[in-house]
Amino acid sequence: MSLKTPRTRLQRLPKRGAHDFATIAAILDEGFFCHVGFVAGGQPYVIPTGYGRKGRTLYIHGSFASRMLNELATGIPMCLTVTLVDGLVLARSGFHSSVNYRSVVVLGTATVVEGEEKGAALEIISEQILPGRWADIRWPTRKELKATLVLKLRINEASAKIRTGPPNDDEKDYALKCWAGVVPLQLTPGKPVADSRLPRDVPVPEYARKFPRQGRKK
């Protein structure tokens, strides 16, 4: 099923675009942080936040007092984007220098999540960020759930855009004695740092020692 619509059709470099769900889901699954765009009171806003995906649904959450979430809960149009940066593309000219990346744009309107789905959504978000963590931590109390607003966005209208490979220089510039190529970039976790009040006999869990990125999703 294609998620292509007139609004998600790529205007520039359409050959880099994709509208199939599998490609879009793979990019979403590798990330866990998004930017949400919306307009409130005539003012555009773009707010960063964590997210989780299950099937064709994206979940975001925050304080019940969150302006962003309360505005989105009214059904106003929203745009959710995720970008994974894979490398710096160093061309022989500034004009052709670029970035290798994979990105997704999802358009739509959000709805409020309630009942049992609310707790399940919080688990989905937690597991998107760090798989395995939810089973270790204390789950939210009724009071905490009441103070938390969860929204969901169906992935019905979306596009992906991907750039890979080396620089594409002008033919005459290949003769320049200037280094060109790609500097690969990846998300690499450091050594976990224990909380100062953590008992010494509590070991670092494997999911924290071996933070995953590639191919994380079920």
Q: Write the CATH number for 63.
A: 2.30.110.10
Residue with tokens 């358009």: 107
Q: Judge contact between 28 and 53, C-beta under 8 A.
A: yes
Separation between Cα atoms, residue 40 and residue 61, nearest integer Å: 18
pLDDT at 213: 64
pLDDT at 214: 56
Per the DSSP assignment, residues forming a β-bridge with 6 are none
Structural domain contains residue 72:
yes
Digit-coded pLDDT (tens) for 56-67: 999 999 999 999
Digit-coded pLDDT (tens) for 85-124: 999 999 999 999 999 999 999 999 999 999 999 999 999 9
Asked if the model's pLDDT at residue 185 lies above 80, the reply is yes
The confidence band for 180, taking pLDDT boundaries of 50, 70 and 90, is: very high
Digit-coded pLDDT (tens) for 5-47: 778 777 676 777 788 999 999 999 999 999 999 999 999 999 9
Q: Judge contact between 52 and 121, C-beta under 8 A.
A: yes
Structural domain contains residue 91:
yes
Structural domain contains residue 198:
no
Structural domain contains residue 175:
no
Structural domain contains residue 139:
yes
Neighbours of 153 (CB within 10 A): 24
pLDDT at 19: 86
Separation between Cα atoms, residue 174 and residue 168, nearest integer Å: 10
Give residue 61's Cα distance to chain centre.
Answer: 14
Do the bridges between strand 78-90 and strand 98-108 make them parallel or antiparallel, or are there none, so unpaired?
A: antiparallel
- DSSP, residue by residue, 165-210: SS----GGGGGS----EEEE-----------TTS-TT-PPPHHHHT
Structural domain contains residue 206:
no
Q: Which domain holds residue 107?
A: 14-166
Separation between Cα atoms, residue 63 and residue 68, nearest integer Å: 10
Across the range 136-145, mean pLDDT stands at 96
The model carries a pTM of 0.92
Structural domain contains residue 120:
yes
- One-letter identity of residue 124: I
- DSSP, residue by residue, 116-168: HHHHHHHHHHHHHHSTT-TTTSPPPPHHHHHTEEEEEEE-SEEEEEEE-SS--
Q: Judge contact between 150 and 61, C-beta under 8 A.
A: yes
Q: Judge contact between 99 and 83, C-beta under 8 A.
A: no
The confidence band for 182, taking pLDDT boundaries of 50, 70 and 90, is: very high
Asked if the model's pLDDT at residue 74 lies above 80, the reply is yes
**Edge-first strand listing for the sheet containing 52-54:** 52-54, 57-63, 148-154, 111-112
The confidence band for 160, taking pLDDT boundaries of 50, 70 and 90, is: very high
Asked if the model's pLDDT at residue 196 lies above 50, the reply is yes
pLDDT at 1: 65
Structural domain contains residue 47:
yes
Across the range 132-144, mean pLDDT stands at 96
pLDDT at 218: 43
Q: How many domains does the chain have?
A: 1
- For the chain, the average pLDDT equals 93
